[in-house]
Amino acid sequence: MGFEDVCCTGLGLGLGRQDRPQSRLQSDHQEKKKKLCLKYDNSFPCLTLGPSEDTYQLAAKINDAGKGYGESTDLHRQASSLSAVSSFSNSSIKKERDLCGEVEVEVEVEVEIERVSSRASDEDEEGNSRKKLRLTKEQAVILEDSFKQHSTLNPRQKQVLAKQLNLRPRQVEVWFQNRRARTKLKQTEVDCELLRKRCETLTDENQRLQKELQELKALKLATPLYMQLPAATLTMCPSCERIGSGGDASSKTSFTIGAKPRFCNPFTHPSPAC
DNA sequence: ACCGTCAACCGGCGCT
DNA sequence: AGCGCCGGTTGACGGT
């Protein structure tokens, strides 16, 4: 019995993988990505610091001035340390609108800013490179703290956190999704390790019992007939210390080999031989 | 060059 | 239909 045996039980941890028609999926994926990149090739990092109103004014300034790349770098300097390099994705506007009521208005403002401004990053002219965002330490700490309090977010919490971190709500949402996935993966690894250890223990136990069985079989061959009776068949009367087969009153012998073993509680029912 | 990490994305599923 | 979440995947990036 090995680890595989255990893993084939109902205790599976779901570590297998599903095969999917990769090629079709892949091309589909690439196609959609292309479209997205073309559509949002003017998106830029969200560099807001203060309330969205201020943000809007800043964006309006930029818009009015008709400035592009260089200006956004200046804006970058005005931003808080948290805002540094936080938004490079090309996510859709629809997904930005993941909030309701007045919140949605604020989000739309941010999207608007993304549209009117150029990027202050090393994206190429077509804007179709996917830049890797690294959250700052401060952002990560705040997100972790928040995750410790609640592993899921309601729209309001998401919005508040996004504002606090100067990220887009979608980014906060994605971070929480990925964080939950990481937690789950870690837990799966822990479970797998526990299962492996349990398997080892059971294997050892099995070997020990097999060995014991062999010894008992060997002993059986080397002992007289009466000693070969199953242990439950023979009882010792505590008062007379004679071996009896259990409750057969007609029996005159001190022990019998009964066809059916009977169980006798020597403490409540003394043997008939007494 | 290779590998691990992680933000971002997509499709699917369940819920309302 | 819209939304949120999940599993799987991609691609950028940093470390070796």
Does residue A235 lie within 7 Å of nucleic acid chain B, judged by its CB?
A: no
Q: Measure A134 CA to B4 C1' (Å).
A: 15
CA gap A237, A235 in Å, rounded: 6
Half-sphere exposure in the Cβ direction for A148 (13 Å, CA): 5
What's the average model confidence in pLDDT over A72-81? 35
Determine the pLDDT at residue A135.
Answer: 92
Q: At residue A54, does pLDDT exceed 90?
A: no
pLDDT digits (tens, 9 = 90+) for A169-190: 999 999 999 999 999 999 988 8
List bases in chain B with any atom under 7 Å of a protein Cβ. 6-11
Does residue A136 lie within 7 Å of nucleic acid chain C, judged by its CB?
A: no
A68 near A118, Cβ under 8 Å? yes
Q: Per-residue confidence at A253, pLDDT binned at 50, 70, 90? A: very low
Q: At residue A20, does pLDDT exceed 50?
A: no
Q: At residue A214, does pLDDT exceed 70?
A: yes
- Across chain A, what does the average pLDDT equal? 57
Provide the total of helices (H) and of strands (E) in chain A, helices listed first: 9, 2
Helix (H) or strand (E) segment spanning residue A244: strand A243-244
Residue A244 pairs with which residues in a beta bridge? A235
Which nucleotide comes closest to A182 if you measure CA to C1'? B6
Kindly report which amino acid residue has its CA closest to the C1' atom of nucleotide C13.
A132
With a CB cutoff of 8 Å and minimum separation 6, the contacts of A201 are none
Determine the pLDDT at residue A220.
Answer: 87
What's the average model confidence in pLDDT over A148-154? 91
Q: Measure A183 CA to B4 C1' (Å).
A: 17
CA gap A141, A215 in Å, rounded: 61
Does residue A24 lie within 7 Å of nucleic acid chain C, judged by its CB?
A: no
Residues 76-105 of A with CB under 7 A from strand C: 94, 97-99
Q: At residue A211, does pLDDT exceed 60?
A: yes
Q: Measure A85 CA to C15 C1' (Å).
A: 21
Which nucleotide comes closest to A176 if you measure CA to C1'? C5
Does residue A158 lie within 7 Å of nucleic acid chain B, judged by its CB?
A: no
- % of chain A residues with pLDDT over 90: 27
A37-51, A215-229, A241-255, range with the lowest pLDDT: A37-51
Determine the pLDDT at residue A222.
Answer: 86
Q: Per-residue confidence at A226, pLDDT binned at 50, 70, 90? A: low
Determine the pLDDT at residue A218.
Answer: 93
Does residue A172 lie within 7 Å of nucleic acid chain B, judged by its CB?
A: no
CA gap A62, A78 in Å, rounded: 13
Q: Measure A152 CA to C5 C1' (Å).
A: 10
pLDDT digits (tens, 9 = 90+) for A83-118: 434 444 333 333 333 333 333 344 344 433 333 332
Q: At residue A268, does pLDDT exceed 60?
A: no
pLDDT digits (tens, 9 = 90+) for A121-139: 333 334 445 667 899 999 9
Give the Å distances, CA to CA, from A256 to A164, A170, A228, A231, A248: 87, 83, 13, 13, 9
